[in-house]
């Protein structure tokens, strides 16, 4: 049976690579984004970034899966509801949700205190945090009925250390908490949830960042992960005999990959735990 996945925010960047990685594993992948023609996303140097949902879908198909492009603004709940209705109408199931859609403010990596950046930087709490909750809400309704599935959140070490300012950090910490608390509600349903701390990724924006701020990013980029690596990790978690134990955890990609025998195009990637911090452990306490 072909598995069905949804990767949100997949016009470019991490989402595009994750969708492509699931395509390599033979998934049918719904890819969402707002970009029909390049122009609405720019790099740190102001240049227009490439990538559209249609291009990503074509790459998924070329990689060995089946890509289906859906133009969707994850800041619009009605569009998100229509997306999940479409998936159920066309496929009748959903096996993987990867919450990746995120608002990226143009000042994100500027070395300024948050009050010297535009207040619009807080948009990451709308498309990035709230949007992940809404998508997970829809996915959980589908997955619990079928008795299987995995809801994954694309997070980072910014959930623990200072990274790109408080709005970015709050969004990543919030995703980690979503995974933790949703596991409590999903326990026993066959549906699991995890938050993945990805390392530096090879994306269109990171390539520009390494040129814009070489002293900050040059060393990281040398050991950067391909975003397809994250897709292969999520698939391995879902297939693992440890999936219930892993559910609710925030996992460092490089570390769980070694545990599950997943490599990044044959390479083992470093963990930045000692440098950037550790995820919070699962807390067994529950208050209603």
Catalytic site residues?
A: 168
d(CA 87, CA 52): 20
Do 269 and 199 touch, CB atoms closer than 8 A? yes
DSSP 72-115: --TT-HHHHHHHHHHHHHHTS---EEEE------TTTTSSS-GG
Question: Can you tell me the distance from the alpha carbon of 21 to that of 256, in angstroms, rounded to the nearest whole number?
Answer: 17
Query: Residue 203 is encoded by which pair of tokens?
Result: 């994306």
| Coil, helix or strand at residue 31 | strand
Question: For the purposes of burial, counting CB atoms within 10 Å of the CB of 80, is it exposed (0-12), middle (13-18) or buried (19 or more)?
Answer: buried
């Amino acid at each position: 049976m072909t598995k069905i996945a949804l990767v949100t925010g997949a016009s470019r960047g991490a989402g595009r690579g994750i969708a492509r990685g699931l395509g390599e594993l033979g998934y049918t992948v719904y890819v969402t984004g707002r970009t029909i023609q390049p122009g609405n996303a720019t790099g740190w140097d102001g240049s227009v970034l490439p990538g559209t949902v249609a291009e990503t879908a074509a790459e998924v198909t070329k990689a060995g899966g089946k890509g289906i492009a859906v133009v969707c603004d994850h800041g619009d709940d009605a569009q998100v509801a229509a997306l999940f209705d479409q998936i159920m109408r066309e496929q009748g199931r959903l096996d993987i949700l990867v919450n990746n859609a995120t608002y990226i403010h143009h000042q994100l990596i500027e070395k300024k205190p948050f009050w010297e950046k535009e207040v619009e930087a807080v948009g990451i709490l709308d498309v990035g945090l709230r949007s992940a909750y809404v998508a997970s809400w829809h996915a959980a309704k589908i997955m619990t009925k079928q008795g299987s599935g995995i809801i994954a959140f694309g997070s980072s070490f910014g959930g623990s250390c200072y990274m790109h300012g408080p709005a970015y950090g709050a969004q990543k910490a919030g995703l980690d908490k979503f995974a933790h608390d949703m596991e409590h509600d999903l326990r026993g349903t066959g549906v699991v949830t995890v938050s993945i701390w990805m390392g530096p990724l090879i994306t269109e924006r990171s390539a520009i960042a390494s040129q814009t701020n070489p002293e900050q990013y040059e060393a990281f980029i040398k050991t950067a992960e391909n975003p397809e690596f994250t897709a292969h990790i999520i698939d391995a978690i879902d297939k693992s005999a440890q999936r219930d134990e892993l559910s609710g955890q925030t996992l460092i990609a490089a570390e769980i990959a070694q545990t599950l025998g997943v490599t990044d195009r044959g390479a083992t990637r470093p963990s930045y735990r000692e440098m950037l911090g550790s995820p919070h452990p699962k807390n067994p306490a529950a208050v209603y």
